[in-house]
Structures are given as C-alpha cells and as structure tokens.
C-alpha cells in the first residue's frame, strides 16, 4: 500500500467523521428505490417461470395463510397447529443457543423448503471449497502469497475468497440471460395476441393444481406495467446521477452512470440467487464495484472514497432487489395484489430511508467509540471494506497470484454445467448440481450446509413413510422453524442493546482444537 493512498484514505475518513442526519437520509432516498424498479420487469420470470423457492417468503406466506384459514377445515387447523408447535420449538431453540452461546440458528427449515438438488449442491460446494480448495491453496503459502500474512489479509488466503465471489456473480449471468430471453419471448406472445400461461390448455397446465392456477391468474392479471418500471428507474437514476457527485465529489457522474447501466442485470442475479438459497449476496456485488471503480479512479484525488461510495450504491440497489422478490413470492402464495405489494414496498423503503439513519445516529451519538477496534461496537466490516478499498485502487492486480486464473476456471465450469443441464432436459437435469448454490459456501462458510441437508433428509424420510402427510404438513413445519428463529431475533437484539450477556458459554470443538485448549488451561 503506497503512502499516498494511505494518506488520502485518512483524509477521506476525517472529512466524513461527522456526517449529518439529513445528509445520510438524502443519500438513501436517491439510491434506495432503484432496486425496486429494476426487478419489477422480470418478477414473472422468477416467480412463475423459474418457480424459485424464496424460502423466507414462502415461510411468511404460510404463516399469513394460517391466520386466515376457513373455519371448520380440519386440515387447515392441523397445519396451523403444526406451524405453531414448530414455531415455538424454533423460538425456544434460539433462546437455548443464546443462553449457552451455542452458535448460529439452524437452517433445517430452509432445507425442508429448498429443492433437494439445491441442498446437495450447497453440500458439494462446502466439500469443494473448505474440504479441497482451501487446504490446497494453504499449501501454496510462501509461493502464491507471502507466508507471514494474516488469514484475513486480502493479499493472501482472503484474496482467493474474493475470486469465488466474482465466480458466483458470473455464474448467475447465465440465469440472467435465460430470464431476459423468457421475458422477450413473453412480450412477443403478448404482442401477437398469444394466450397467457393460465389460458393455454396443455398437459403441463392440466397438472397444475387449482390453487396454483388461481395464484398465477391473479399474479398475471394485476401486473405493474413494464414501461412504468423502466420510466421510474430512468427518472430516479437521472436524479441520482446528478445528485451524488455533489455529496461525494470524488464519485464522478460517469462512474455512477456506468453503475446504473449494469446494475439491473446484477440485481436480477442477486434476486435469482436469493430465490434458490435464501441468501442475499449484496456484499459480493459491492466488492465488484470496489475493484472496478478503484481501478478506474486510481489512488489519487479521493479514489478510496469513490470506491466506498460506489460499493454502498451497488449494495443498496442489489439488496433492495432481492427483498421485494421475497415479498412478491409471499404475495403470490397469499393471493395478494402485485400492485399493492409494490406500493407497500415503496412505502417501506421510504420509511427505511428515514429510520435506518436515525438508528445509526443514535448509536453514533451514544457510543463515541463506535467503529473503534476493541470497543463494544467495533463495526469490523467497516475496517475490512476500507482496507479492501485501499487495495482496490490497484484493481485486480492487488489480488494474489493465480487468483484470476482460478476465477476464470470456476466461471467456465459453471457455464459448462448450466449448458449440460439445458441439453439433458428436465428428466436428467434435476440430478445436475446447481453451480450458484455450490458457490454460496465459498463465501458464506460451511456452517449451514449440514443443517440444510438435515432438513432435506427429514423431508425425504417423511415422504417415504407418509407422502400425503409430508406434502400437507412439510411446508408448515419448515415455516414454523424459520419464523420462530426469526421472531427470536427481536428479543435477542433487545438483550444485546441493554448489555445482557449469556451467562454460560458452550462451544463444540474438534479433537485437535480441544487438545490445544486443554494444554493451554493446564499450563
């Protein structure tokens, strides 16, 4: 890292040491709505054509539907009872985890909702990344990267983690092109007077249940015009392009324009990935903005600040694209109007633009050492992104040796697997792993793959024993597990804010690590 870049980054930090509340609210208002408009034209592709799961959206829909079941319906009552039972179990399990500091929440419910091949793909990704790639790269220490670097250094092992992020982005581009093709095909059918999916008579349509036909009919009937979404995106993008350079002078208008040209495609990719695995990888796309804008802007004249601002813009847009997709899935399953859902999303986003800065402002004023290493709220990712931006001014050349070559290899393999799936057809394609799902553990880590596979195993055994009951109560059980764990986050956050810490700490360690701990305690 050059002294010039370090000095410039320090000056940038000092310049924005005391941001005003109105300043933060203004930034959010000019960038937060773009994600909503960018994903609207392709929502039918994700919900109807691709039939993406969106586990959290599905779980929310089952919870909502349970409150509105017809009186006297025995099956509905049993489903509600099952949902409540496992919701309570999940909530209490979350409390148990907090009490003993036992680790993160279970993803068993998500695994019960996601297709089998997605969960298996996640497990394969875990084995490939943490069981094979990481140990192999670690053996190259001293050759591919300096041996004395810390594990979290971007010039070392952490830099190879970045390549998996970029590989993930490129993996999703295949789905993006498929979605655009389907969208253009549907527009062509509409233009020639073609029938909609619920109006066409075919064996495929006849196999769709009445409930699904009704949901599809309502979802397509109350559509948001594509021209409205495009016009809204262009208008907000124009306002944002003219406004942001006045807030961040280092972020030139042409940087913003390029971001807004490409970000709809990336927003769709993030929403597509979230539909499969329930993970929003907005930070991945933010890192892409850091390296691209960093290489373009350079280290002088506030390049670091330009990178961080571009990263924030990118993450905000792609994040607000995946969340509405979850809501559209919920609306589809609850027979809610897509237009009403969109209006509510606009209102919710506007509220978030005000509430989020206010919450940050309270922390900023209440804790003077906010963001300081070793403090109560060290904000570690802030330091990570700042260091990444300092390295990013050198572009991709800042990554360690052979990093990009590995990235190209992953990209080629992902495209090849997707092509094979298309060639084989539906009968055999369902046995081919999903490259996007395989890439998730590369970035997130391996801790949730086993949980998801356990959820699949439970559902698989249940279906073998009693398929009718599994079909009827499986979604309710999964939704209860997800919702109960989600509800626990509220009291967990309150306990953290008031400074209440778990009274007992319990960890599960490997045999080798446990031996080291015993040796340390005995010394």
pLDDT digits (tens, 9 = 90+) for 374-401: 676 777 677 777 777 777 776 566 667 7
Interatomic CA distance for residues 387 and 383, integer angstroms: 6
Interatomic CA distance for residues 127 and 479, integer angstroms: 28
In the chain, what percentage of residues exceed pLDDT 90?
A: 4
Which one has a higher pLDDT value, 233 or 304?
A: 233
Give per-residue pLDDT as tens, 415-434: 788 788 878 877 787 788 88
**Taking the domains of the chain in order of start, what are their residue ranges?**
3-53+114-465
Q: Which of 38-52, 200-214, 223-237, 486-500 has the lowest mean pLDDT?
A: 200-214
Question: Which of the residue ranges 8-22, 59-73, 332-346 has the most confident prediction, judged by mean pLDDT?
Answer: 332-346
DSSP per-residue codes, 212-281? HHHHHHHHHHTPPPHHHHHHHHHHHHHHHHHHHHHH-TTS-HHHHHHHHHHHHHHHHHHHHHHHHHS---
Q: Residue length, the chain?
A: 523
Q: How confident is residue 235, by pLDDT bands cut at 50, 70 and 90?
A: very high
Judge whether residue 486 has pLDDT over 80: no
Give per-residue pLDDT as tens, 507-518: 666 677 777 777
Mean pLDDT value across residues 60-88: 68
User: 200-236 as b/e, with b when 16 or more CB fall inside 10 Å?
Assistant: eeeeeeeeeeeebeebbebbbeeebeeeebeebbeeb
- Going by C-beta distance under 8 Å and a sequence separation of 6 or more, which residues neighbour residue 83? 62, 63, 66, 476, 477, 479, 480, 483
- Check: CB of residue 239 under 8 Å from CB of residue 30: yes
Number of neighbours of residue 455 by Cβ within 10 angstroms: 25
Interatomic CA distance for residues 178 and 174, integer angstroms: 6
- Check: CB of residue 167 under 8 Å from CB of residue 413: no
CA nearest to 270, candidates 224, 222, 322: 322
Q: How confident is residue 300, by pLDDT bands cut at 50, 70 and 90?
A: low
User: 257-276 as b/e, with b when 16 or more CB fall inside 10 Å?
Assistant: ebbbeebbbbbbbbbbbbbb
Interatomic CA distance for residues 417 and 419, integer angstroms: 5
Give per-residue pLDDT as tens, 125-156: 888 887 888 888 888 877 887 777 766 666 77
Which one has a higher pLDDT value, 391 or 163?
A: 391
Pair of tokens at residue 393: 């001014």
CA-based torsion, 300, 263, 345, 278: positive or negative: negative
How far is Cα of residue 16 from the mean position of the Cα atoms in its chain? 28
Q: How confident is residue 201, by pLDDT bands cut at 50, 70 and 90?
A: very low
Interatomic CA distance for residues 47 and 116, integer angstroms: 19
What does the mean pLDDT of the chain come to?
Answer: 75
């Amino acid at each position: 890292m050059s002294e010039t870049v370090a000095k410039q980054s320090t000056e940038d930090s000092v310049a924005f040491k005391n941001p005003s509340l109105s300043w933060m609210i203004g930034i959010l208002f000019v960038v937060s709505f773009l994600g909503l408009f960018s994903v609207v034209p392709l929502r039918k592709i994700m919900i109807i054509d691709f039939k993406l799961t969106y586990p959290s959206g599905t779980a929310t829909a089952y919870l909502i539907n349970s409150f509105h079941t017809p009186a006297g319906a025995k099956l509905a009552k049993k489903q509600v009872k099952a949902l409540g039972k496992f919701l309570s179990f999940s909530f209490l399990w979350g409390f148990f985890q907090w009490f003993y500091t036992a680790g993160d929440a279970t993803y068993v419910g998500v695994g019960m909702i996601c297709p089998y091949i997605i969960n298996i793909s996640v497990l394969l990704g875990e084995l490939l990344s943490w069981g094979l790639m990481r140990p192999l790269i670690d053996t190259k220490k001293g050759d591919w990267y300096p041996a004395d670097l810390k594990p979290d250094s971007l010039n070392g092992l952490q830099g190879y983690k970045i390549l998996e992020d970029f590989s993930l982005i490129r993996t999703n581009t295949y789905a993006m092109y498929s979605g655009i093709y389907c969208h253009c095909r549907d527009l062509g059918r509409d233009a020639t007077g073609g029938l909609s999916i619920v109006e066409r008579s075919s064996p495929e349509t006849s196999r769709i249940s009445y409930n699904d036909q009704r949901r599809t009919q309502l979802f397509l009937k109350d559509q948001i015009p594509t021209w409205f979404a495009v016009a809204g995106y262009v208008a907000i993008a124009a306002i944002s392009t003219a406004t942001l350079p006045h807030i961040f002078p280092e972020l030139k208008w042409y940087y913003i324009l390029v971001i807004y040209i490409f970000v709809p495609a990336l927003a769709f990719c993030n929403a597509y990935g979230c539909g499969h695995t329930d993970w929003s990888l907005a930070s991945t796309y933010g890192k892409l903005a850091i390296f691209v804008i960093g290489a373009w802007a350079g280290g002088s004249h506030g390049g670091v600040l330009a990178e961080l601002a571009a990263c924030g813009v990118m993450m905000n847009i792609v994040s607000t694209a995946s969340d509405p997709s979850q809501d559209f899935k919920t609306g589809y399953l609850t027979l809610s109007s897509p237009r009403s859902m969109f209006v509510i999303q606009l209102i919710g986003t506007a509220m978030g633009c005000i509430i989020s800065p206010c919450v940050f402002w309270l922390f900023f004023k209440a804790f003077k050492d906010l963001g300081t290493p070793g403090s109560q709220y060290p904000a570690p990712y802030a330091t990570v992104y700042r260091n990444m931006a300092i390295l990013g001014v050198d572009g991709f050349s800042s990554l360690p040796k052979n990093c990009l070559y590995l990235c190209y290899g992953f990209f080629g393999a992902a495209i090849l697997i997707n092509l094979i799936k298309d060639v084989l057809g539906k009968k055999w394609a369902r046995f081919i792993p999903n490259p996007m799902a395989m890439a998730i553990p590369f970035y997130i880590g391996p801790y949730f793959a086993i949980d998801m596979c356990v959820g699949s195993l439970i559902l698989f055994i249940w279906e073998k024993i009693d398929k009718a009951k599994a079909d009827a109560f499986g979604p309710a059980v999964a939704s209860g597990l997800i919702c109960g764990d989600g509800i626990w986050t509220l009291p967990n956050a309150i306990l953290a804010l008031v400074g209440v810490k778990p009274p007992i700490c319990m960890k599960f360690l490997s045999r080798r690590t446990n031996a080291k701990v015993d040796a340390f305690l005995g010394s």
